[in-house]
Each structure stands twice: as C-alpha cells, then as structure tokens.
Amino acid sequence: MCGIVGVVSSTPCKTRLIDGLERLEYRGYDSAGVAILQPGVSGEIAKSVGAPRVLREQMVTLESETLENGTVGIGHTRWATHGGVTDKNAHPHQVGRITLVHNGVIENYVELKALLAEKHSESAGSIPHVFSSQTDSEVLSAFLNYLVSEEGFDMDTALQSLPSHIHGTYGLVVIDSEKPEEIWVARSGSPMIIGLGDESNYVASDALALNPYTENFIYLDEGEFAMLAPKSFQVFDAEGNAISKRVEKLPYVSENDGHNGYSSFMAKEIAEQPAVIGRLIRAHLSPSGLKDGSELVALRQKMLGAENIHIIACGTSFNAGLVAKYYFEKYLNIPTSVEIASEFRYRDVAIPPKTVFICVSQSGETADTLAALRKANEAGYQATISLCNVATSSMVRESQGSLMLQAGVEVGVASTKAFTTQLTAFLLLAFALSECEATKKLLLESLFRLPADCESVLNISDEIKDRAAPLFQESQSCLFLGRGEQAPIALEGALKLKELSYIHAEAYAAGELKHGPLALIDDVIPVVINAPGGALTEKLAANVEEVNARGGRFLVFSAPGVDVHSDNQVDIKMPELSLVTAAITYAIPLQMLSYHVTVLRGQNVDKPRNLAKSVTVE
C-alpha cells in the first residue's frame, strides 16, 4: 500500500532514497517523508503532503547538511489509513530513540497507547510521550521506544517480541538513535525485501524501488526480521535465531523506469497489450499445442479430476475471475464460482469435494486475497493456484501452483494489461485442461490471432477520443450494460471509468435492466454497450430498445455487421475480431474510453485520488 525505502551506506543516501520513493509512488502518493542521519553527528526528518517529487523540492529549499550528506536513511510514501493527509501524519515517526516507517495497520493501537500511559504513570520520573499525529504508526514507535529505553530490550529482542503485543500487520524499518549506523527491518503481514549492494545495503517494500542499485535481493518471510549495516547484514527467524537466506537475482529492467515516450504509464500499458499477450501465449503454446516446458503441464496435473473451481480476487482481478466462470463452464463444463476475497476470508466456507482454489492478483500481495489463499491452504482444497504478475510475490510463494501473467511491471493504478493477460491466462488454462479436440482447436486458433486482434483495436483510439469521450465531459453518472462474457466486461468498464474519471458508473447484466437501472434512464446519462455479435445479439438489441423507448442515449462498440440500433447513439465500429476472445478485445476500447475521458476532464490517469496500486492492508 504505502511504499518504504531504506538505505544504509558509506556515501550520501538522499538521492537513492527519494528516487526509490518516486519509483514506489504508485503504491501511495498522499504524503512522503524521510529521516536521514550522519551517524554520530546528526539526524533530521523532512516530510510533506503530496508526492515524493514535492518532498524532493522541499528538501532543496531546506539546505540541510544532514539531509544532503547523511549516509543512513529511511523513507516512506503514504496512503492514509489512520489520520488525514497532513505533514504530521506522514512518516517517519520519531519517539525517543526510535525513528520508523511503517506499512500495514496496528489494530490494537488504542490498547497499546493505554498500556504506555499506564506504564508511565507507574514509573516515577518518566515523561509520557505527547502524540503529535493521529497514526497507529506513531504508537508503534512509542511502543518500540518503551521496549528499548525502559525495558532494556536490544532491537532484535524488541522486534522478536512485537507479534506477541501487536494485532495487525506491519512491514517496518527502524533506526535506533543509539545505533545510528544500522537499520532494522521486520515483516509481519506486509512484504519487505532486502537489497544487497557494495558498501551499501537497502530495504524496501518492493524490489522495484531498488532495482537500479542492486540485482541481489533477499525476500523476508513472515515473522522474520533483519539488521543492515553498510557492509554487513543479518536475518533472524521469528524465534530470533540468526539464519542464512537465499539471495535471489532480479535483473535490472530499464523499461520499468518511465513511460518511454508515452504521456502516462496507463497509455504505455494499454499500448503494450498486444506484445505482452503475445509473449504469454508463445511462452505456453506452439502452433501444435502445449509446449513441454510450460507451467500449464504441472497445473493440469494439479487440476486433474477437478469437479469445481472457486476463484477469489479483488478489484479488476475479481472481474477477470467473473469472465473465467464463463470460460470454464463453457469450455470445460466445470462448475465455477467467483468470490470477493474480503468476503471469503471471514465466512464459513463449504467446500465441495475435488474443488480447486484459484486466486487472481496482479501484485500477488493484496492483503485480502493473500489471507484468502492462506485460509484455502488450510481448508482442504484439491489444489491452490495463483494467477499472478509478480513471480517473487507472497501469493506465488504460498500457493501450490502458479501461472505467471508475464505482463511486465504495471505502474498505472488502474489495471489494464494485467487484466487482459489474466483473461488470456484463463483461456490458456482452459486449453490445457480441455479434453475436447474441437475446443482445443478453437482456442488455439483464437489465441494465436489474439495479439493481432488487440493491435487492430488500438487503432480506434483516436475515434474514441474524438467521438466517444466528449459524451462524458460533463457527465455525473453513466451505465454500462453487457450480456454473456460482456456482462463482467461491463463491470470492468464501469470500474475503470469511475476510478479514473470520478464519474459515477454502474454496470449491469443487460437482462437486469428492468429490475432497477431502467429507472435511471433519461436523455443525459450515457449508456455504454459492447455488441461483439454472437448468439445474444438479439437479446441485447431488445435491451437497447427498452432504453431507446425511454429516450436514452448510447455509446455502442459493435462488430462489423452487428446493428443494435437506437435513435440517439454514437456507434463505434470495432474491427473484425474472434468471438472467442471478445472479452479481451472488447475490454480494450473501454480502457481507452476511461483514459480519454480522464484526460479530457484534466485528471491524472496514473494516480487517481484516494486509490493505491497495491492494497496490502485489508
């Protein structure tokens, strides 16, 4: 959710710290802060509301020797959970000897605060800390300070004892002012990684922050914590034993560094879809079928004999799961259910025999989906499988099998290429599991033409900008309708539009129109419909008639030869496309629509207000 970077070095760390925060900005961007130390000399904190760029500018005006030349630093880019977006609530938080940055939520912070007050009242001469922020993280600083200053704990014993005091989650980087030449990191429910460099060691919530400085990473597992100094480090397990960990190589990919000539990450990521979808397909299929080395061979084994599939996800990934239900029931005849992760994790679950659990996630770190996977691992499913874009993520590590999306880093908060590669991955899975030659042939043919189909859809971007986006320039509200696989695509279209443009957008299976949403229809609210052709076209046309009779106005994306006519409509013709992959290809104009509407309304397509890319708190 929030982003963390830490550097412990023998040379000034400021640039690496701020650059790292900027690379993590997509995880949260309401405020940012750093604490920088010159060990043995001085320490200083700088914070500002806004993105790390604002902090960088502010630090220049401060003209601080410590901020410029300090060699040990921790930084944070925030997505507010406890307390509003203010300088005071921004991290780092400093209490006594402790300065820390924190990702996650301390659920029992009120009790901890009360406990600290009680301890202070019992101890003569002790001065209670006056909290200056509304955050749970400052309470955590105060608690750690209490452990090291008043209970006499060393930092390793303090961090080891934290889980017994804390309800909630944390990814934590801490500096103790009495040992300013080292930083400490701890993981409990929020990912943290260590980067190993020459004369510098690093820590971050995401390898992306550190990738320009090192290719050598250690992934902390749950409960582990570590000490880092410029030329040494030590990892400890949850019991406090010093342990050695595997160092993993993550080659530097310069394409992750910017939007490469595009005006935004979203524009770049939309345009990349033909290439990344093609790469994913070619990784698994040759024109004659499944490749020998494909991960799908092992997944087919795990899913052999499955009688049910249960799919869990959040956000856009959930919408991908809804499409997969159509695929699995149509091509495999396997009953499939799809559920929001935050519901699944807290309810009593009845699991039919031979059920395979699939979690879908771009990041592989979404807190609710990860918790759902952990529950599923305990619950006796035939197998737990993750569809994921990050090979080193917690979900990939913890599921019994996984299929990588290979979409490359997705930075835009609104998911685009991860969504279409999720749908492609589901079709690949259907291909791998199918026993029917006709189905396999159909899927193979459609998948091999899919990259070219996606490319041809990108060509209508200007038409969407000129003819479709202006319909929404002044809109307060709009409706997306679809039938069959296009019903979940309508949901995804509405999600994309609302999260980026802040226009209220709802989506319905078109058959539900008369059960409520028809009451919204007037001659102002735009109604968006995908009409790719196929068996449901007449039914869709009848729904269009129902809206038309009430004076509604439409934006229709239709296949050549498909006419769902109404009196007041903008009809944008799609190219000739395979119907088998129409959920994928018809998602793209809706992405482009959201993009152009958002640009037209002057808002940020990459960083919508209040949202974050990787939701590691529940």
Summarize as ranges the residues that interact with ligand G6P (CB under 6 A): 314-317, 361-363, 366, 369, 413-415, 611, 613, 615
**Toward ligand G6P, which CB reaches closer, 369 or 537?**
369
Rounded to the nearest whole angstrom, what is the least distance from the CB of residue 145 to ligand G6P in the complex?
Answer: 34
Of all residues in this chain, which one has the CB nearest to ligand G6P in the complex? 315
Rounded to the nearest whole angstrom, what is the least distance from the CB of residue 413 to ligand G6P in the complex?
Answer: 5
Instruction: Give the Cα-Cα-Cα angle 20, 22, 24 (nearest 5 degrees).
Output: 75
Rounded to the nearest whole angstrom, what is the least distance from the CB of residue 493 to ligand G6P in the complex?
Answer: 14
Centre a 10 Å sphere on the Cβ of residue 280 and count the other Cβ atoms it contains: 24
Active site residue 613: yes
The dihedrals phi and psi of 117, each to the nearest 5 degrees, come to -65, -40
**Toward ligand G6P, which CB reaches closer, 105 or 527?**
105
Q: 116 near 142, Cβ under 8 Å?
A: yes
Strand positions, DSSP E, 138-272? 170-176, 183-188, 193-196, 200-204, 216-219, 225-229, 232-236, 242-243, 248-249
Centre a 10 Å sphere on the Cβ of residue 586 and count the other Cβ atoms it contains: 24
Rounded to the nearest whole angstrom, what is the least distance from the CB of residue 454 to ligand G6P in the complex?
Answer: 19
Catalytic residue among 2, 13, 388, 478: 2
Rounded to the nearest whole angstrom, what is the least distance from the CB of residue 171 to ligand G6P in the complex?
Answer: 16
Measure the N-to-C terminal CA separation of the chain; round to a whole number of Å.
Answer: 10
- Separation of alpha carbons 523 and 548, rounded Å: 9
- Separation of alpha carbons 36 and 24, rounded Å: 19
Rounded to the nearest whole angstrom, what is the least distance from the CB of residue 143 to ligand G6P in the complex?
Answer: 30
Residues in the chain: 618
Centre a 10 Å sphere on the Cβ of residue 522 and count the other Cβ atoms it contains: 10
Provide the token pair at 96.
């006594």
Rounded to the nearest whole angstrom, what is the least distance from the CB of residue 603 to ligand G6P in the complex?
Answer: 15
Q: Which of 331, 1, 37, 4 is nearest to 182 (CA)?
A: 37
Is the peptide bond between 92 and the residue preceding it cis, with omega within 30 degrees of 0?
A: yes
Indicate the DSSP class of residue 255: G
Q: 249 near 587, Cβ under 8 Å?
A: no
Q: To the nearest 10°, the Cα dihedral for 483, 485, 491, 495?
A: -140
Rounded to the nearest whole angstrom, what is the least distance from the CB of residue 417 to ligand G6P in the complex?
Answer: 11
Rounded to the nearest whole angstrom, what is the least distance from the CB of residue 340 to ligand G6P in the complex?
Answer: 11
Catalytic residue among 268, 417, 440, 613: 613
Q: 370 near 357, Cβ under 8 Å?
A: no
Q: Is 465 exposed, middle or buried (0-12, 13-18, 19+ CB in 10 A)?
A: middle
**Toward ligand G6P, which CB reaches closer, 574 or 583?**
583
Q: 472 near 553, Cβ under 8 Å?
A: no
- Separation of alpha carbons 329 and 331, rounded Å: 6
C-alpha distance from residue 83 to each of 90, 91, 417, 581 (Å): 9, 12, 33, 45
- The residues near 334 (Cβ < 8 Å, ≥ 6 apart) are 306, 307, 308, 309, 328, 433
Rounded to the nearest whole angstrom, what is the least distance from the CB of residue 208 to ligand G6P in the complex?
Answer: 14
**Toward ligand G6P, which CB reaches closer, 278 or 315?**
315
**Toward ligand G6P, which CB reaches closer, 206 or 453?**
206
**Toward ligand G6P, which CB reaches closer, 28 or 315?**
315
- Separation of alpha carbons 379 and 410, rounded Å: 32
Indicate the DSSP class of residue 189: B
**Toward ligand G6P, which CB reaches closer, 59 or 373?**
373
Provide the token pair at 19.
């650059």
**Toward ligand G6P, which CB reaches closer, 158 or 320?**
320
- Separation of alpha carbons 201 and 324, rounded Å: 43
C-alpha distance from residue 210 to each of 24, 57, 173, 415, 520 (Å): 10, 21, 15, 23, 49
**Toward ligand G6P, which CB reaches closer, 400 or 415?**
415
Rounded to the nearest whole angstrom, what is the least distance from the CB of residue 411 to ligand G6P in the complex?
Answer: 11
Q: 493 near 478, Cβ under 8 Å?
A: no
Q: 354 near 308, Cβ under 8 Å?
A: yes
**Toward ligand G6P, which CB reaches closer, 294 or 319?**
319
**Toward ligand G6P, which CB reaches closer, 361 or 591?**
361
Within 380-503, residue ranges assigned H as helices are 394-398, 417-433, 437-458, 461-463, 486-501
Catalytic residue positions, numbered:
2, 613
